[in-house]
Amino acid sequence: MSKDDIIRYYDYTTPFWKVFWHKGTNAVHYGLWDDNTKSLQESLINTNKTLADIAQIGSKARVLDAGCGVGGSAIWLARNIGCHVVGITLSAKQREKAEK
């Protein structure tokens, strides 16, 4: 698979992720469920919380989100932890959505 194939895939599928998966989180990852999780949206946020906890990301951290997609995790980290996040993605369409 070439870089161009990857770009085409994400450019094509981004609108579908938004409709079927994001649930307002801009997440393009799987969720983590526990006994207290009541919705897909909560499970997606749980993934971000777990990532931050395991990586010990604090407000003074500088984080690189490589393959950030539309920036869901990066935005969540910046808003909820207060850290500085830089996201990179191959897809210009996803980058444009993340910048909004």
Given a cut of 80, whether residue 24 has pLDDT beyond it is no
Q: What DSSP assignment string belongs to the chain?
A: --HHHHHHHHHHHHHHHIIIIITTS---S-----TT--SHHHHHHHHHHHHHHHTT--TT-EEEEET-TTSHHHHHHHHHT--EEEEE-S-HHHHHHHH-
Q: What pLDDT digit, counting tens, does each position of 34-68 carry? A: 999 999 889 999 999 999 999 999 999 999 999 99
Given a cut of 80, whether residue 84 has pLDDT beyond it is yes
Architecture of domain 3-99: 3-Layer(aba) Sandwich (3.40)
Predicted pLDDT of residue 38: 95
Predicted pLDDT of residue 14: 84
CA distance 50 to 9: 28
Helices 3-17 and 92-99 cross at an angle (nearest 10°) of 40
